């Protein structure tokens, strides 16, 4: 298989096992940024509230991606091609462009986190850039060999991450708790929680749906749609339910939500480095692959391997330039949610609510395919606006509902006229 092939996968070649599909998503979500999401909750909410938010947000966000996974299994086409059915040819390219640009940040963030962990164990702070470069090139080389190479790498990496993560989890939950907040500080925090409780839900869902635009990219290699949906749901939900509580507990022990400070406070250096390094590299497998698919929809004449190497190396270079990507992490999740939740609503309305199948010949024929699907673009826009308006009270459900309803209503009118 090509590293970033946009062609539909023939049914005879959809031989990827659900276990491999699960491992790809699990490996992508077992990462320091999942703990960082938990740390954002721990700085604002009490344990009981944080648990409710993490469970509800992680499972709902994973469900949004999982229910779309069977589209890949049934059609064999990647997400950016399937998106044309709901948004039009140019509309799908808009999504590709957003995915392409935002994934550079994710590649850079993951390389920096992994390099920081490695430098603490070997080489010292001055070696961080060398580690970032080596890890970035290694991840790119594996993706360039194709999805099967990624699957084989994950079969090795995920069990090792599970062991290292178990050691880290034990260390975190057996460590001494951080000093309790002063009464005045606790009261202020509780008052903030009462007002902004749904903000945390938006952060967690926003983090989970950051994987939404890959809903069909890997499931198209798995024949059973039901098995693909279950594998994707478990691969996204289980790591989040595990690592978010680790994140907020570790942040309280460290007295900081800075990733380096948090991981150093765990006191299990080698195990932490192994977990963070493998998790960051395997997550970048997905980021590089997604960006490569997105770029090839924007530049059809580009080659798959050339796209992979270009994107991987640019993302690696960006990670060497700046270290400030995580300072606004929670706000980034909310921003991504405002973009991805509404477009997810469009896909849900088209493929799930209206039960429209992907016409493979049609979505590849750009000469007859509309440039923009009016209903899809309008629904996406309405959902984005509603998300912004409702951000102070919890925007995910209103935006999702608005985009689904708008798309369904406009399609009914189009069919009537």
pLDDT at 414: 56
Residue of 379 and 395 predicted with greater confidence: 379
Distance CA 359, CA 225 (A): 17
Question: Which whole number is the average pLDDT over 242-267?
Answer: 80
Percent of the chain with pLDDT over 90: 32
pLDDT digits (tens, 9 = 90+) for 26-37: 877 887 788 888
Is the pLDDT reported for residue 216 higher than 50? Answer: yes
The closest alpha carbon to 153, from 28, 305, 299, belongs to 28
Q: Beta partners for 222? A: 15
Could you tell me the pLDDT band of residue 160, with boundaries at 50, 70 and 90?
confident
Instruction: Return the minimum-mean-pLDDT range out of 139-148, 151-160, 259-268.
Output: 259-268
Is the pLDDT reported for residue 7 higher than 70? Answer: yes
- Cβ neighbors of 42 (< 8 A, separation 6 or more) are 50, 247, 248, 249, 251, 252, 257
- Phi, psi at 10, each rounded to 5°: -60, 150
Two tokens at 270? 């080698």
Q: Beta partners for 15? A: 222
pLDDT digits (tens, 9 = 90+) for 38-88: 988 887 888 888 899 999 999 999 999 999 999 999 999 998 899 999 999
Q: Are 50 and 184 in contact (CB under 8 A)?
A: no
Could you tell me the pLDDT band of residue 297, with boundaries at 50, 70 and 90?
confident
How many CB atoms lie under 10 A from the CB of residue 368?
8
pLDDT digits (tens, 9 = 90+) for 381-415: 999 999 989 877 778 889 999 999 999 999 876 55
Is the pLDDT reported for residue 183 higher than 50? Answer: no
Distance CA 80, CA 382 (A): 21
- Cβ neighbors of 205 (< 8 A, separation 6 or more) are 57, 60, 61, 64, 337, 341, 396
Distance CA 107, CA 121 (A): 22
User: Domain extents for the chain?
Assistant: 14-326
Could you tell me the pLDDT band of residue 221, with boundaries at 50, 70 and 90?
very high
Average pLDDT, the chain: 83
Is the pLDDT reported for residue 262 higher than 80? Answer: no
Distance CA 34, CA 314 (A): 24
Instruction: Return the minimum-mean-pLDDT range out of 12-16, 163-167, 179-183.
Output: 179-183
To which CATH superfamily is domain 14-326 assigned? Answer: Hydantoin permease (1.10.4160.10)
Tell me how many degrees the CA angle 123-33-222 measures, rounded to the nearest 5: 110
Could you tell me the pLDDT band of residue 332, with boundaries at 50, 70 and 90?
low
Could you tell me the pLDDT band of residue 140, with boundaries at 50, 70 and 90?
very high
Is the pLDDT reported for residue 201 higher than 60? Answer: yes
Is the pLDDT reported for residue 186 higher than 60? Answer: no
The closest alpha carbon to 290, from 31, 141, 104, belongs to 104
Could you tell me the pLDDT band of residue 245, with boundaries at 50, 70 and 90?
very high
Distance CA 187, CA 29 (A): 34
- Cβ neighbors of 385 (< 8 A, separation 6 or more) are none
Q: Please count the helices (runs of H) and the strands (runs of E) in the chain.
A: 17, 0
């Amino acid at each position: 298989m090509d590293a970033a092939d946009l062609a539909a996968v023939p049914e005879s070649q959809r031989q990827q096992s659900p276990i491999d599909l699960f491992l790809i998503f699990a490996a992508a979500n077992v990462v320091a940024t999942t703990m960082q999401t938990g740390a954002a909750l721990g700085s604002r909410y009490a344990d009981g509230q944080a648990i409710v938010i993490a469970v509800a947000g992680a499972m709902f966000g994973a469900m949004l991606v999982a229910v779309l996974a069977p589209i890949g299994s049934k059609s064999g086409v990647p997400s950016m091609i399937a998106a044309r059915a709901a948004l039009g040819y140019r509309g799908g390219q808009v999504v590709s462009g957003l995915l392409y640009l935002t994934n550079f940040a994710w590649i850079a963030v993951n390389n920096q986190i992994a390099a920081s962990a490695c430098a603490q164990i070997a080489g010292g702070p001055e070696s961080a850039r060398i580690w970032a470069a080596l890890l970035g090139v290694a991840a790119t080389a594996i993706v360039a060999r194709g999805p099967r190479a990624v699957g084989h790498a994950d079969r090795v990496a995920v069990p090792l991450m599970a062991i290292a993560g178990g050691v880290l989890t034990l260390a975190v939950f057996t460590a001494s708790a951080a000093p309790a907040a002063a009464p005045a500080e606790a009261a202020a925090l509780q008052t903030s929680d009462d007002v902004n409780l749904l903000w945390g839900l938006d952060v967690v869902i926003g983090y989970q749906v950051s994987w939404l635009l890959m809903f069909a990219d890997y499931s198209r290699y798995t024949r059973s749609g039901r098995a693909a949906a279950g594998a994707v749901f478990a691969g996204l939900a289980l790591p989040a339910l595990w690592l978010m509580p680790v994140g907020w507990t570790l942040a309280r022990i460290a007295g900081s939500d800075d990733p380096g400070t948090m991981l150093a406070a765990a006191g299990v250096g080698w195990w932490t480095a192994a977990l963070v390094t493998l998790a960051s590299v395997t997550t970048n497998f997905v980021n590089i692959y997604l960006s490569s698919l997105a770029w090839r929809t924007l530049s059809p004449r580009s080659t798959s391997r050339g796209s992979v190497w270009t994107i991987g190396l640019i993302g690696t270079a960006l990670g060497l330039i700046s270290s400030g990507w995580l300072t606004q992490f929670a706000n980034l999740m909310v921003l991504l949610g405002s973009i991805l939740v509404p477009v997810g609503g469009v896909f849900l309305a088209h493929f799930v609510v209206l039960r429209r199948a992907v016409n493979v010949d049609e979505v590849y024929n750009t000469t007859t395919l509309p440039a923009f699907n009016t209903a899809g673009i309008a629904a996406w826009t309405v959902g984005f606006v509603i998300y912004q308006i409702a951000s102070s009270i919890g925007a995910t459900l209103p935006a999702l509902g608005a985009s689904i309803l708008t798309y369904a209503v406009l399609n009914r009118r189009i069919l009537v006229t």
